[in-house]
Chains A and B, each alone.
Chain A
Amino acid sequence: MDDFFNIIFSNEFLVSILRLSTPILFAALGALISNKAGVVNIGLEGIMLFAALFGVLGCSWTGNLFAGGLIGVLIGAFVSALLAFSTLYLKSDTILTGVVINLVGAGGTIFFLEVFTGDKNVSTSIVSEVFPTLEIEAIKDVPFIGGLLSGHNVLTWVAIALAILLWFVVNKTHFGIKLKAVGENPVAASSLGIPVKNYRFIAIVLSGVLASVGGIFLSMGYVSFFASNMTAGRGFIALAAEAMAMGNPLFTLLSSLLFGFMSALAIAFGSSGFMAIFNEIFEMMPYVATIVALIVYAVIAKQKNKMKEVKNGKSLGKGIQNDVRRRPSGIRRR
């Protein structure tokens, strides 16, 4: 039990929260951008796996960290482009195709790993580099602040910067506003001359790119190898983080941190042996929290609408309002 408290009050614990949040944040930002365009990208998990594998492979082929990372991201972008092509041009169902991408990712990465390295499950026979961590010597040992600012991976800072950038892009640029228009009302957007399919294609590929960076963080930052199914559901947890943040990039940063905190807590319970069963409970918490949050949002939205109705003395057209209200802006199907 002392062990447990030693773990959670250390700077390493803070660092581990950020480390666990990083892949979730990348993928959640990916989920966000495709959701903005009105496409739910369930294939994030599979895309992350492909990127994680080919990042490691690319790094061992070229001997260069960034070239390897680039190869990983390109493959991830290619897979998401396949998803986009299939749903937009071949008109397959987005959700079902996304699930299939995950299934292909789970098996296909193992297949390609064996083809290229001869390893099964873990890429032990090839050497790959990792993205560096930034240690700030001066404040490293200061409690709390040291853990907050020092010892994080470069990609962690990139993820945080991207969350802020994405908020700007979505809310303040032409591209972002058109993207939202495409997602919220494709028919109206197309009547204004916005090429809906193109925007959706770009959004899906961008979401794949973001998820891919999360994937290469796992295999080239979190650890230095690829292991089968190493994403372990982070693609799904990212969808949860995005849903909880109601499609706001900055809130997505917060929800990802919250989920990272819960994972870190679960690991602390697991490794200290102090009530190991809480490991499972805390692993479950992000999903329960998301469902609870969605319920709370829905109830609040209902209340607000009721207040408005009373204020404006509206009672006619209630059916239509009900219809509109039923779709909270963050979660849109297809």
Chain B
Amino acid sequence: MGKNNFKIMLTNMRAKLQAKQASKSISKRVESIRIQTELLRTLVAVVIAFAVALIIILCVSKQPMEAFKYLVIGPLMKPRYFNQVLVQMVPLALTGLALAIMLKAGQFNLATEGSFILGGVLAAFFAIKVALPMGIHPILAIIFGIIGGAFICVVPAILKLSFGISEMVVSLMMNYIALRIGNTIIRGALLDESAGILTTEQFHETAQMHTIPVGELEIQVALIIMVIVVVGFYVYLSKTRSGYALQLSGLNGKFLAFSGIGASGLILASQIMGGAVAGGAGAMYTLSNLERYDLVNTFPNKGFDGMIVTILARNNPLLVPIAAFFLAYVREGAEIMSRHTDVSVEIMSIIQGVIIIFVAGQALFSKMQNKRIIKEVANG
């Protein structure tokens, strides 16, 4: 109730101020207050999460201070460690971006996990079964992965549009279907009988994605592709007509229909794009970091990790790499800590959980934000 009253008040005030022709600057200032609140919330979340981590470390560790030091500044201690942050960041950013695109169209499509898996398996298939020259081999393998990823994510959208079935339930099913299709492909065609565990044969040398040495760092080609993809999607969403319509379809599909733009095509397109990005992420992850693809029976959670990134980045494509970098940094810090001290790496999942609960909580600081906005508007 309070919120509605407030909204009415705000619109009244806006109307008055419009007469004074000052509305533009007001809305800008209101927007900046919103951004400040979001920043504050993120900061508080991070501080609380690390405080929780410190308390846990104090409880379980015999060398707590050293452990905490590794957790916080570990990745900065050696170029090799920092490099690892960048390596971890690529799949996080891409799956986060994939999810952000699909959420922009108002679809709760959680099939990025499946897309990531199937993309990886199909790339592995291509890397093992086909012999091609150096430059073309990975490109074709990635395209293969992209097609697989897009297929997984588009099924929920098709069923939603043609039968009205909840895309979220179907997308969860698609994750498992993708996992099992992947396993069937591996078992059926790629298995290395001589290896002790269930894993594929080794990829062809030509299929592997290489790194570019920059100073002391080894930049993955995948990282460069990621940056291009992120910038591309930012430009598409904010500077093109169809990107704008896509955002509108998520905010208010009916309005879009009234203005004469069909939403279904946009929804389909956005799910294909999201699935393609997640599938490509899986393919690139496989080709840059692995030499064989292991058979798994549970999710590697690489696609679901994208959800944490999306929440941290508030669905904003430009913030996705920053959020992914932060998350990769925390994970690498936890890994270095577990290698040097007696605290295990899984503490990072608790840190993530605490951060997300506070960042995703829209209600936190909302009172303070509203007060500030009212003040700002009243002062006009």
Contact = CB atoms under 8 A, between A and B. Distances in A.
24 contacts: A86-B357, A91-B362, A93-B360, A97-B357, A99-B110, A99-B304, A100-B311, A101-B353, A102-B304, A103-B307, A104-B352, A106-B301, A114-B346, A233-B176, A233-B298, A236-B175, A236-B176, A239-B172, A280-B187, A291-B170, A295-B163, A295-B165, A299-B163, A328-B164
B170 A294 contact: yes
B188 interface: yes
A284 interface: yes
A114 B364 CA distance: 33
A229 interface: yes
B378 interface: no
B176 A287 contact: yes
Interface stretch (B178-186, B211-219, B317-325): B178-186
A258 interface: no
Interface of B: 60, 108, 110, 159, 163-166, 168-170, 172-177, 180-181, 183-184, 187-188, 297-299, 301, 304-305, 307-308, 310-311, 344, 346-350, 352-353, 356-358, 360-364
The 3 closest A-B pairs by CB, nearest first: A107-B349, A90-B361, A92-B360
A288 interface: yes
Given A90-B362, A99-B307, A327-B164, A280 B180 contact: yes
A298 B176 contact: no
A82 interface: yes
Nearest to A95: B108
A276 B301 CA distance: 26
B164 A298 contact: yes
A184 interface: no
A114 B350 CA distance: 14
A257 interface: no
Nearest to A40: B168
Contact of B187 (A91, A120, A239, A277): A277
Contacts of A327: 164
Contact of A103 (B60, B110, B344, B352): B352
A327 B363 CA distance: 28
Interface string A75-95: 000000010001001111101
Contacts of A229: 298
A326 B163 CA distance: 8
A267 B99 CA distance: 34
A120 B166 CA distance: 38
B184 A103 contact: no
A110 B159 contact: no
Contact of B349 (A92, A103, A239, A295): A103
Q: Which of B164, B308, B344, B363 has the most CB of A within 10 A?
A: B164
A243 B159 CA distance: 15
A257 to B, nearest CB: 19
B176 A284 contact: yes
Contacts of B187: 276-277, 280
Contacts of A237: 176
A90 B364 contact: yes
B282 to A, nearest CB: 18
Contact of A232 (B168, B297, B310, B357): B297
Contacts of B363: 89-91
B356 A100 contact: yes
A96 B159 CA distance: 22
Given A103-B352, A328-B165, A277 B304 contact: no
A290 B344 CA distance: 39
B164 A108 contact: no
Contact of B308 (A92, A100, A281, A331): A100
A295 B156 CA distance: 11
A327 B169 CA distance: 13
A103 B170 contact: no
A332 interface: yes
Nearest to B350: A108
B180 A281 contact: yes
B362 to A, nearest CB: 4
A290 B176 CA distance: 12
Given A276-B187, A290-B173, A333 B357 contact: no
A192 interface: no
B352 A100 contact: yes
A232 B298 contact: yes
A330 to B, nearest CB: 9
A89 B361 CA distance: 8
B44 to A, nearest CB: 13
B177 A288 contact: yes
A332 B349 contact: no
Nearest to B346: A111
Given A99-B307, A328-B164, A239 B360 contact: no
A107 B306 CA distance: 16
Contact of A91 (B60, B310, B361): B361
B165 A294 contact: yes
A325 interface: yes
A105 to B, nearest CB: 8
Nearest to B181: A284
Contacts of A276: 187
A181 interface: no
A17 interface: no
Given A91-B361, A107-B348, A111-B350, A295 B110 contact: no
B301 A103 contact: yes
A12 interface: no
B163 A106 contact: no
A123 to B, nearest CB: 15
Contacts of A291: 159, 170, 173
B353 A104 contact: yes
B159 A295 contact: yes
Contacts of A294: 159, 163, 165, 169-170
Nearest to B348: A107
A106 B347 CA distance: 11
A115 interface: yes
B360 to A, nearest CB: 3
Nearest to B173: A287
Contact of A110 (B163, B176, B180, B346): B346
Given A110-B346, A240-B173, A86 B360 contact: yes
Given A90-B357, A90-B362, A91-B362, A280 B184 contact: yes
